Amino acid sequence: MRLRALPQSLSCLVYATLALTESLSLDALYSFSGPSLSDPTTFSLPQAQQLFVSIAICSTEATSPTFFVTNNSDTTAVTESTSSSDVFQIPLQSGFGYWTGTAPQGAFLTVQNIGQTSFQVAVSNGCMYPDQVVLYSILILPAALVHELLPSLPLLGDTTNTQALIYSYPFSPVDSSPSIYPNYTLPPANLSAPSLPSEPPAFSLFIAPTSSGLTSGPQTACAIQSASTSVSVLTNDSWLRGNEGWRSQWLIGGLTPSTNYTAYVVQDQVKLSGPIYFSTKSPSFSCPLVHSLPYCPSTSYAVPLPFPQSPATFYDSSTLPQSISDPLLQYMTNFTAMLLTFPCGRDLYSPLQTCESCQEAYRNWLCSVSFPRCAEPPSSSSSPSSPTPALTAPQSGLNARNPNLPNVSYSYQTVLPCLEVCNAADRACPNFLGIKCPNPRFNAASSYGVGYIDSSTQGVFGGGSTGTAQDRWGNVWCNPS
Ligand SMILES: *[C@@H]1O[C@H](CO)[C@@H](O)[C@H](O)[C@H]1NC(C)=O
Ligand SMILES: *[C@@H]1O[C@H](CO)[C@@H](O)[C@H](O)[C@H]1NC(C)=O
Ligand SMILES: *[C@@H]1O[C@H](CO)[C@@H](O)[C@H](O)[C@H]1NC(C)=O
Ligand SMILES: *[C@@H]1O[C@H](CO)[C@@H](O)[C@H](O)[C@H]1NC(C)=O
Ligand SMILES: *[C@@H]1O[C@H](CO)[C@@H](O)[C@H](O)[C@H]1NC(C)=O
Ligand SMILES: *[C@@H]1O[C@H](CO)[C@@H](O)[C@H](O)[C@H]1NC(C)=O
Ligand SMILES: *[C@@H]1O[C@H](CO)[C@@H](O)[C@H](O)[C@H]1NC(C)=O
């Protein structure tokens, strides 16, 4: 991105107001509202080898302010109009803009045409890499306080008719040190998460019905926050869903059935991630959400179970019946014991896979077949070019796949596990364990979602047609976990 130098006449205007400056400090967040500022207003900025100024518009107004930075602090020289090459306009896109450059003598920020607009300014000398400064994906030190539109998106777990389970993007990957032969150990069936990183980022979740037009206003954290609906947070904590790392997890209640919602996650008040979209299910949808199971860390969706005992409105490891968790843990324990009859860590059965990756892929498969995922057919008006999800016919009563699930009194449909979940276990595990996945040419589509993710799967539904199990628009074609 190039910053335009300011025409000569404007630069005079900029410096005419220098007498009235307020100084802004590094790594502080400033919020201003139009009526409280004179127009134009100039702020002085601190010296820095590398100065980073970011702007976020927080309100939607008819007028749009303009922002100018100069890093030429020699004000006398400038009023003599010797140079306008050190004056830059900060271009705003969707209410967000930034400037970076050297400011060994400090700098000034001038705002014009403020009107009623409220906005935020953050100034940082956070280390960053100018070559990689691209709008919408600015690489800076995580500690630097600057407005950003993050490229990583939040993740939808699932919805019911009134609840939604939503995750932030992952923030702290877990590196496990592999164990060593002959003392090769694998994680227990009931996993225990490592301790949470000491200073997790502060995330907040913002939601509004899609009809409220959250995405057409400024795409900045402060604008999203003020335009979002207040929601009832039933639980929020940090959860390790998988290797990709910890995520903040929110279970939201009190939503309106059959409604499209837009969601954003804000990190540290200034960094915006999103939007993602999701729809709540129709009023008759009866499957409760299941999440936060240490032994099935990525299970986070609606499962055909009886409604939990009041006051609970969803299941987690403390409320899920033992008649479901015990057999699952036993399968996992027995499988692990069988796997460990292989000299793990001494002999290789694959150049790419280890006993640990086998156990992990098996766990993922076991969880996805043990907990069927309830779903509804997409609303008829959704895009006709999009493939239809791998949904079963409506069923009720006994679940054929997991006889340990209690019968339910309502009718439901499930979305099948992605065939890739089975293939991953097949690929990751030694042959002697006898993991067999159905062939996509024959019967696979009766028990798995075939051909959505992997283009090498010669599936009935067209190889790799979506390339993914779910997308940011709330479509889910097969159950990825
Ligand atoms: C102002 O910033 C620009 C862009 O980084 C730089 O080329 C110029 O040398 C800077 N001027 C001063 C006085 O530091
Ligand atoms: C095997 O490893 C575990 C943890 O990795 C350790 O606690 C245990 O002491 C080790 N046992 C032997 C015999 O080295
Ligand atoms: C799994 O371990 C957690 C502690 O890490 C414990 O609270 C929970 O009861 C265990 N679950 C089962 C089903 O054993
Ligand atoms: C949960 O939300 C509350 C209020 O929004 C917040 O104070 C708290 O820190 C959050 N807890 C976690 C673990 O994120
Ligand atoms: C696990 O192994 C035990 C002992 O071999 C056996 O009694 C049990 O039936 C097995 N459980 C499952 C679910 O396979
Ligand atoms: C929700 O969004 C989908 C797809 O974007 C659209 O077809 C549908 O009409 C919307 N539903 C409502 C209730 O607005
Ligand atoms: C569940 O329903 C099936 C038939 O739909 C029945 O055979 C079975 O006994 C029921 N199980 C329980 C625990 O009620």
Mean pLDDT, residues 247-252 taken together: 97
Ligand nearest to the CA of 281: 6
Mean pLDDT, residues 220-225 taken together: 96
Q: How far is the CA of 236 from the centre of ligand 4 (A)?
A: 6
Ligand 2: residues with CB < 6 A are: 179, 183, 185
Q: Does pLDDT of 461 surpass 50?
A: no
**E strand segments, 268-389:** 271-279, 289-290, 301-302, 373-375
Site to substitute for ligand 4 among 236, 249, 267, 268, most atoms within 8 A of C-beta: 236
Mean pLDDT, residues 415-424 taken together: 91
Q: What is the pLDDT of residue 393?
A: 80
The answer to whether the bond into 311 is cis (omega within 30° of 0) is: yes
One-letter amino acid at 306 equals P
Q: Which of 150-159, 167-176, 399-408 has the lowest mean pLDDT?
A: 399-408
- pLDDT-derived band at 233 (thresholds 50, 70, 90) equals very high
Q: What is the pLDDT of residue 74?
A: 62
- pLDDT-derived band at 438 (thresholds 50, 70, 90) equals confident
The protein residue whose alpha carbon is closest to atom 12 in ligand 5 is: 331
In the CATH hierarchy, which fold is given to the domain comprising 4-146?
Answer: Jelly Rolls (2.60.120)
Of the two residues 271 and 9, the one the predictor is more confident about is 271
CA distances from 103 to 7, 22, 32, 98 (A): 21, 17, 23, 15
CB 304 within 8 Å of CB 372: yes
**E strand segments, 58-160:** 66-70, 87-89, 96-103, 107-112, 118-124, 148-150, 155-159
Q: Is 107 in the pocket of ligand 1 (CB under 6 A)?
A: no
Of the two residues 381 and 138, the one the predictor is more confident about is 381
The answer to whether the bond into 304 is cis (omega within 30° of 0) is: no
Instruction: Report the distance separating Cα 412 and Cα 396, nearest Å.
Output: 6
CA 247 to chain CA centroid, nearest Å: 8
Nearest ligand 7 atom to alpha carbon 396: 5
Q: Does pLDDT of 341 surpass 60?
A: yes
Mean pLDDT, residues 324-329 taken together: 97
Q: Is 101 in the pocket of ligand 1 (CB under 6 A)?
A: yes
Instruction: Report the distance separating Cα 219 and Cα 7, nearest Å.
Output: 29
In the chain, where are the structural domains located?
4-146, 152-175+184-190+199-285, 299-378+387-481
CATH number 2.60.40.10 given to 152-175+184-190+199-285: yes
Q: What is the pLDDT of residue 443?
A: 75
Neighbours of 427 (CB within 10 A): 16
* Most confident option among 95-99, 330-334, 475-479: 330-334
Q: Tell me whether the CATH fold assigned to 4-146 matches the one assigned to 152-175+184-190+199-285.
A: no
**E strand segments, 143-231:** 148-150, 155-159, 164-167, 203-209
Nearest ligand 2 atom to alpha carbon 179: 5
Instruction: Report the distance separating Cα 87 and Cα 145, nearest Å.
Output: 23
Tokens found for residue 389? 């999800």
Query: Tokens 């896109």 identify what position?
Result: 93
Q: Is 72 in the pocket of ligand 1 (CB under 6 A)?
A: yes
Name the CA dihedral angle for 344, 349, 353, 356, rounded to a multiple of 10 degrees: -20
Closest CA to 90 of 178, 208, 5: 5
Name the CA dihedral angle for 347, 350, 354, 355, rounded to a multiple of 10 degrees: -70
Summarize the chain as % helix, strand, coil (round to 5): 20, 30, 55
Tokens found for residue 41? 């207003």
Q: What is the pLDDT of residue 455?
A: 60
> 11-44: per-residue pLDDT in tens?
334 444 444 578 999 888 999 998 899 888 889 9
Q: What is the pLDDT of residue 58?
A: 96
Mark residue 247 as left, alpha or beta (left: phi above 0; alpha: psi -120 to 50; beta: remaining): beta
> 54-63: per-residue pLDDT in tens?
999 999 877 7
Instruction: Report the distance separating Cα 152 and Cα 141, nearest Å.
Output: 16
The pTM (predicted TM-score) of the whole model is 0.87
Mean pLDDT, residues 358-382 taken together: 88
Q: Does pLDDT of 140 surpass 60?
A: no
Percent of the chain with pLDDT over 70: 84
Instruction: Report the distance separating Cα 221 and Cα 113, nearest Å.
Output: 22
Query: Tokens 């015990």 identify what position?
Result: 326
Mean pLDDT, residues 389-418 taken together: 83
Q: Which of 237-251, 321-335, 398-412, 447-461 has the lowest mean pLDDT?
A: 447-461
Ligand nearest to the CA of 330: 5
Q: Does pLDDT of 381 surpass 60?
A: no
Tell me if residue 263 falls in helix, strand or coil. strand
Q: Which of 113-127, 170-184, 216-230, 233-247 has the lowest mean pLDDT?
A: 170-184
CA 52 to chain CA centroid, nearest Å: 26
Instruction: Report the distance separating Cα 337 and Cα 248, nearest Å.
Output: 33
> 269-283: per-residue pLDDT in tens?
999 999 999 999 999
Q: Does pLDDT of 7 surpass 50?
A: no
Tokens found for residue 338? 């069988």
Q: Is 282 in the pocket of ligand 6 (CB under 6 A)?
A: no
Q: What is the pLDDT of residue 456?
A: 54
- pLDDT-derived band at 126 (thresholds 50, 70, 90) equals low
Mean pLDDT, residues 65-83 taken together: 64
The protein residue whose alpha carbon is closest to atom 11 in ligand 6 is: 260
Ligand nearest to the CA of 321: 3
Q: Does pLDDT of 234 surpass 80?
A: yes
Of the two residues 247 and 127, the one the predictor is more confident about is 247
CB 299 within 8 Å of CB 481: yes
Instruction: For the chain, give the longest Cα–Cα distance.
Output: 85
Of the two residues 126 and 470, the one the predictor is more confident about is 470
Percent of the chain with pLDDT over 90: 52
Average pLDDT over the chain, rounded to whole?
A: 84
Tokens found for residue 307? 């409604």
Q: How far is the CA of 100 from the centre of ligand 1 (A)?
A: 9
Q: What is the pLDDT of residue 451?
A: 72
Phi–psi pair at 90, nearest 5 degrees: -90, 110
- pLDDT-derived band at 242 (thresholds 50, 70, 90) equals confident
Angle, helices 322-339/355-370, rounded to nearest 10 degrees:
150
Instruction: Report the distance separating Cα 420 and Cα 448, nearest Å.
Output: 9
Tell me if residue 115 falls in helix, strand or coil. coil
Q: What is the pLDDT of residue 132?
A: 38
The protein residue whose alpha carbon is closest to atom 2 in ligand 7 is: 398
Q: How far is the CA of 210 from the centre of ligand 6 (A)?
A: 9
Q: Which of 15-29, 171-185, 200-214, 407-421 has the lowest mean pLDDT?
A: 15-29
